[in-house]
Chains A and B, each alone.
Chain A
Amino acid sequence: MKIWSSSRWKKPAQGALLASTFVLGGCVTVPYADDVRDVRSTLGSRWAPELPVPALTGEAPRGEDVDTVVKELLSQPLTADAAVRIALLNNRDLRAAMHELGIATGNVVQASLPPIPEVGLEVTKPAGSTKVQTGLGLEYNLSDLILLPQRRGVALAERASEQARTASEVLGLAYRTRLAFYEVQARRQQLELRNLALRNAQARYGTAVELEKVGNLRALDLATERSAVEAARLAVAEADNALQDAREDLNVELGLFGADTQWTVDALLADPSDALSKQEGLEARAIEVSLDLSELRGRMEAADRRNQLARTEGFLPTLSGGVHGEREDDRWEMGASLRVGVPLFDRKRGERIATLSSRESLKARYEATATAIRASLRQARFRVESTASRAMHVRDVLLPATRKALEETVLQYNAMQLGVFDLLRAQDNVTNAASTYVDTLLEHHRARAALEQLLAGRHQGVELAPTRISSAASGSAPAADAH
């Protein structure tokens, strides 16, 4: 297993930070572009090449340019990729996460600065003397200077951890956006199917009305068909509500409001892609690329370094040195001083206990996370294969079977063995099978996104919907006509 090392980061970052210290002096700017570049670097090969990353290049258009790009993307029916692109450009939570990385960057800069020397000026006038004595002193905290590399090491480790967390947030946003987009697609299709089911119920009711008018149908049957229409109408309303909810969930990820929320989606949920080849070592790969684990390793490294720092502080006497000059009778007397603090009582034992405990806690959390990642990987992989298989079964077997049943029902209707109500129920079975297909496809795309997310390095936030166990009722043959 590859262990995170700050050395990968140290040289360029250290150089840049020192340069900023001495060249820019007190001039402070937000290092957003550098942080973005670092996040992109962290994502590295995890970031699928086909995915848009304008917001992560550090050269992303800002302000009105962003709006132009977003509006252009919104002017066309959305695709999953376009949605992710918009989210990366426009999602404020992602920007906040980037700025949070800036906090860690600032901590590194601060930890890299040497202690400030203390200059003392003393002017005295001894009693009875007309002369003023002047004393000058320069004190420097040597122990802080000695500990500076260790403090900077702690800050660097913390920043590395934060960098991994931020990169993970990028993946999380893309993942959530894709899920939200799939949900919109599925809810839109389900709404169309529920509308079809409503038209079916209305056709049954309309037929019942015509038959009842001429004395061929019982009031009971008419009322039954009427209730079916109202139930179907309710299902349409529910499906519409679900679609609106899904759209708003996607709007949140896209960072959209107002008129920008009037985007459209034309594409249907894609058919299941080929089942994953039986690649071996996916678990190991997920562990290797895991940003969640990277973050934890960074935090463990930081805890280690804090422990080292505390130990050094515990054993290192407080040191400060200085030079002193005193002007008397027009001549200077020079001297030097060294002040040593004796660590008799406080040897940072408590801080070390805290950092060691933190380290052990993080280690245990690391192992638990690795176990969870492996389980999630296996679960997602099985779910991808299972849902692909089920979706293809619905598409290639169940749907044709219901269509065949409809065709046969037409023949039986022609032979007067079944009635128009049976015919419409058979058609409804086709609609229900299509609905099952949409549900299964959604589950498949969710699982696939989860698997890709795990293999890209993020485990946090990955979730699979509960497994559905459907009844076989939708495929049953129509019962004899009750009318």
Chain B
Amino acid sequence: MDRREFMQFGALAGGTLLAGQALAQTPSNLAPAVRARAEKPRIVAPGGQVAVVTPNGSTLPWKNVGGVKVGHLVAMPVRHTFAPGLEVEAWGYNGSTPGPTIEAVEGDRIRIYVTNRLPEPTTVHWHGLILPNGMDGVSGLNQRPIAPGETFAYEFTLNRAGTYMYHPHYDEMTQMALGMMGMLIVHPKRSRGPRVDRDFALMTHEWKVLPGMRRPDPNAMSDFNVLTFNSKAFPATAPLVIGRGERVRIRLGNLSAMDHHPIHLHGLYFEVTGTDGGFVPESARYPETSVLVPVGSTRVIEFVADEPGDWAMHCHMTHHVMNQMGHAAPVTVGANARNIDKQVQALVPQYMTMGQDGMGGMEEMGMPVPPNSIPMKGGKGPFGSIDMGGMFTVLKVRENPEAEDGSGWYVHPKGTVADKADPAKLAADGIDPDVRFG
């Protein structure tokens, strides 16, 4: 009996109290909460520049007042769901983390009111922007902090196109750890380079939320166990749906506390076209499939996807594609589980050794786990469970992207999916699967 069978038997025979919670957290119930239907891109900037889409997020609405774009950010506590089954007490802007993406055009005069509904003061720093010193938002250096209940006004002209971010510069450790951040996109007045068909913004972040807790730990310096794109962990990350042959831009920002993220895309190569410092000259670009996004930086990549399919996009740090991973358990790989189980189950009947044959497929076991926690990995895929979590999403390249809502899987042409080898073909090709080495 393997652990999965054991748990099923236990649930049937023992009627464990936690069976309900276990069922509530089976992978089949962890479907993405928000699906991003690929709408026809809106044109928002000169030169046919399309609007930025923030998967799982939103864009700040503007009011035009006397030629000034006026927006309102409310810093506030929010209840946020990383993925179904894991809800936290976070802080954010306008009811979400990350806050709404601020999108404008080079030369725009913007006025943003910031209301503080946090229990402590705050400020907003416009990360990467060059602006009047008094608008830079560093508490004590450039302004006095915004006290709880106060509303401050920030006003400046966007003189430089690019991909930027915003975040507090008062008690940064706590406020950013709890989710206060957002992207700020300034389109160029004159479009640069080839026009893109899709423009996405993804904010990477890391959190420490131990299973059973509801408040991210701001004191964490390591052991971050929830890794997110736009504050969502797979399987709740909305896929990026694009059309085959479309030119796509993805703007990546990183306001993690401690970790850089090497973001890797499958099925294509890209070039880094920009940073929060500006545009990368064409002569300096080179093809890549992974881009390291350092803490406090943005990276903009552009590509054309020619190969249709469902392509993985993820941080390549293997612990960053896990949910609430724990590392306190001893390594059991290779151990004789039967010998261990016999002794431990006599004392703790619910126990069964796991991991002795490796960790794969553990999300399918349906083990009861602490409330407000999600399996370390796993999300529904066309061939079973996808054995990853955290900072992972799917790039869906489709012939007709507007018809997709992201929930459908790519239908592979016959003969294009790796499968069990035909013995006759093995023999014909001179392959002996029983070959021994060493």
Q: Which residues of A contact B (CB under 8 A)?
A: 196, 199-200, 202-203, 206-207, 210-211, 213-217, 406-408, 410-424, 427, 480-481, 483
B346 and A418: CB pair below 8 A? no
The digit string for B54-83, where 1 denotes a CB below 8 A from any CB of A, is 000000000000000000000000000000
Tell me if B50 is interfacial: C-beta within 8 Å of chain A. Answer: no
Across chains A and B, the number of contacting residue pairs, with CB separation under 8 Å, is 110
Minimum CB distance partner of A196 in chain B: B347
B347 and A199: CB pair below 8 A? yes
Across-interface contacts of B327 in A (CB, < 8 A): 416
* Whole-angstrom CA separation of A418 from B27 in the bound complex: 22
Question: Contact partner of A420 among B18, B325, B334, B351, CB < 8 A?
Answer: B351
* Residues 339-369 (chain B) with a chain A CB within 8 angstroms: 339-340, 343-344, 346-348, 350-351, 353-355, 367-369
Q: Which 8 A-B pairs have the closest CB atoms?
A: A417-B326, A214-B334, A203-B343, A414-B367, A419-B329, A483-B330, A481-B328, A216-B331
B330 and A423: CB pair below 8 A? no
B-side interface residues, number (CB < 8 Å): 36
Tell me if B97 is interfacial: C-beta within 8 Å of chain A. Answer: no
* Whole-angstrom CA separation of A211 from B344 in the bound complex: 14
Given contacts A207-B340, A415-B373, contact A420 B329 (CB under 8 A): yes
A424 and B328: CB pair below 8 A? no
* Residues 372-396 (chain B) with a chain A CB within 8 angstroms: 373, 376
Question: Contact partner of B343 among A202, A217, A416, CB < 8 A?
Answer: A202
* Whole-angstrom CA separation of A408 from B17 in the bound complex: 12
Given contacts A413-B351, A414-B368, A414-B369, contact A420 B340 (CB under 8 A): yes
B347 and A200: CB pair below 8 A? yes
Minimum CB distance partner of A217 in chain B: B330
Across-interface contacts of B274 in A (CB, < 8 A): none
Q: Which residues of B contact A (CB under 8 A)?
A: 17-18, 210-212, 324-336, 339-340, 343-344, 346-348, 350-351, 353-355, 367-370, 373, 376
Question: Contact partner of A481 among B329, B355, B368, B376, CB < 8 A?
Answer: B329
A415 and B348: CB pair below 8 A? no
Across-interface contacts of A427 in B (CB, < 8 A): 347-348
A210 and B330: CB pair below 8 A? no
**Distance (whole angstroms) from the CB of B23 to the closest CB of chain A:** 14
Question: Contact partner of B350 among A196, A206, A410, A415, CB < 8 A?
Answer: A410
A214 and B351: CB pair below 8 A? no
9 inter-chain pairs at a CB distance below 8 angstroms, sorted by A residue, are A199-B347, A413-B351, A414-B368, A415-B324, A416-B326, A416-B327, A417-B328, A419-B328, A421-B330
Question: Contact partner of B335 among A213, A411, A417, CB < 8 A?
Answer: A213
**Distance (whole angstroms) from the CB of B383 to the closest CB of chain A:** 25
* Whole-angstrom CA separation of A230 from B369 in the bound complex: 34
19 further A-B contacts with Cβ under 8 Å, apart from A410-B351, A416-B355, are A199-B343, A202-B343, A211-B331, A211-B332, A216-B332, A410-B368, A411-B211, A411-B212, A411-B369, A412-B211, A414-B369, A417-B211, A420-B330, A420-B353, A424-B347, A427-B347, A480-B328, A481-B330, A483-B330
